[in-house]
């Protein structure tokens, strides 16, 4: 156990931990753009700087390990002024279009700007200007809004292991792009959208089919229905319609989703979606109730088993079912129907 003084309070902590972890565990607010506990600390945005007694300058709390006897202050005038400076500098290179930005309401830049009462016009000068890359089907890359926290690059590299994007050029001209600047669709990008999910501002955004403001929508946590992994996600729902999906940082998926979970939700409200079982009556598919449909299927199974034997039947289960559903299916076939003819599409 180490002893650390945090904003005047002495606390005991188990090390190793970064100063940021210690502060957050103590319930303190420390702003960050580039930090993500799943990723290797990077120290790029400098929002999380704090004062440590005896240190030559402010230190980035996300990368600095806490040490026994450390005296840390997270909101001194020097710290606040440094954070304000960072925000003013970001604003000097960021369009002031929050009123029409889809990220509004969920944007860290907006929140911190409000919190620290930042003068967004403190500096006037050159801005990085680039065309918005619309080449991906599911999201766009608007480098005019990028604050270069690098989370998208790191999540793609460290967690998704695709490494489709990276930094290009240097200094003031640095930007996030794909190999040879040929467009996102020409890269090895698998459109998982994990970069979109981690972007703290409106630079990487889904091509939303619905117009909504973040404060109009509610979040409903659910399990992704595409496969058996059980990824946790929030459906973003407005007026009882799913308008977006975000990953939930839970055990099964650690805040990641694949292209289907992240972007493939439009089937939910699709007019072609089957909402009731169908039975072919007199050569025509006709909507029926579940009881009728199940009775029909059960009857056919029984009839086949009785006439031809149980081993003439086989069950094939879908990877879109959960473990529990898969279990029930084999139970039904082994115990109910009386056959071991059972397979699963994931085996193929």
At CA 37, angle to CA 32 and CA 41, rounded to 5? 70
- Binding segment for other proteins among 44-52, 109-117, 289-297, 300-308 (CB under 8 A)? 44-52
- Candidates 52-60, 133-141, 255-263, 300-308; binding stretch for other proteins (CB under 8 A): 52-60
DSSP element (H, E) containing 234: strand 232-238
Tokens of 58: 């402010």
CB of 147 to other proteins, least distance (A): 7
Site for other proteins in 163-192 (CB under 8 A): 166-167, 169-174
Rounded Cα–Cα distance for residues 102 and 109 (Å)? 13
Asked whether position 159 contacts other proteins by CB under 8 A, the answer is no
Minimum distance from CB of 89 to other proteins (Å)?
A: 4
Give the rounded distance of the alpha carbon of 163 from its chain centre: 17
Sole window of 4-12, 89-97, 219-227, 278-286 interacting with other proteins (rule: CB under 8 A)? 89-97
**Distance from chain centroid for Cα 150:** 15
Q: How far is the CB of 106 from other proteins (least distance, A)?
A: 21
Using the rule CB under 8 A, is 93 a contact of other proteins?
A: yes
Residue 255: which residues within 8 A CB-CB, separation 6 or more?
38, 197, 198, 247, 248, 249
Count of chain residues binding other proteins (CB under 8 A): 37
List the one residue from 31, 150, 202, 228 that touches other proteins (CB under 8 A).
150
Of 117-146, binders to other proteins (CB under 8 A) are 122-123, 125-126
CA distances in angstroms from 35 to 18, 46, 87, listed in the order given? 12, 10, 16
Asked whether 104 and 39 are in contact (CB, 8 A), the reply is: no
CA-atom Rg of the chain in angstroms: 27
By the criterion CB under 8 A, which residues form the site for other proteins? 41-46, 49, 57-58, 60, 63-65, 78, 81-82, 85-86, 89-90, 92-93, 122-123, 125-126, 147-148, 150, 166-167, 169-174
């Amino acid at each position: 156990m180490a002893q650390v003084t945090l904003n005047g309070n002495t606390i005991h902590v188990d090390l190793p931990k970064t100063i940021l972890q210690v502060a957050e565990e103590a319930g303190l607010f420390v702003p960050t753009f580039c930090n993500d506990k799943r990723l290797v600390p990077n120290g790029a945005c400098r929002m999380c700087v704090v004062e440590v007694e005896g240190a030559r300058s402010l230190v980035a709390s996300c990368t600095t390990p806490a040490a026994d006897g450390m005296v840390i202050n997270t909101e001194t005038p020097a710290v606040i002024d440094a954070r304000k400076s960072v925000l003013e500098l970001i604003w000097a290179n960021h369009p002031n279009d929050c009123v029409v930005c889809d990220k509004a309401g969920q944007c860290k830049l907006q929140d911190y700007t409000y919190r620290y009462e930042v003068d967004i016009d403190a500096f006037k000068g050159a801005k990085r200007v680039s065309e918005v890359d619309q080449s991906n089907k599911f999201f766009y890359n608007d480098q005019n809004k990028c604050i270069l926290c690098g989370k998208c690059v790191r999540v793609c590299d460290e967690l998704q292991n695709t490494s489709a994007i990276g930094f290009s050029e240097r200094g003031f001209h640095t930007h996030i792009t794909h190999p040879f600047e040929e467009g996102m669709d020409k890269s090895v990008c698998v459109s998982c959208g994990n970069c979109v999910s981690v972007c703290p501002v409106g630079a990487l955004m889904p091509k939303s089919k619905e117009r909504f403001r973040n404060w109009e929508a509610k979040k409903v946590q659910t399990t992704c229905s595409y496969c058996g992994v059980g990824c946790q996600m929030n459906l973003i729902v407005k007026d009882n319609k799913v308008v977006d999906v975000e990953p939930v940082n839970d055990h099964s998926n650690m805040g990641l989703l694949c292209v289907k979970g992240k972007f493939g939700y439009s089937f939910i409200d699709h007019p072609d979606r089957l909402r009731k079982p169908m039975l072919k009556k007199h050569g025509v598919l006709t909507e029926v109730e579940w009881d009728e449909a199940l009775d029909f299927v059960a009857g056919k199974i029984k009839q086949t088993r009785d006439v031809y034997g149980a081993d003439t039947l086989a069950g094939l289960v879908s990877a879109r079912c959960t473990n529990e559903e898969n279990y029930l299916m084999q139970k039904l076939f082994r115990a109910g129907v009386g056959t071991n003819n059972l397979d699963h599409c994931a085996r193929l």
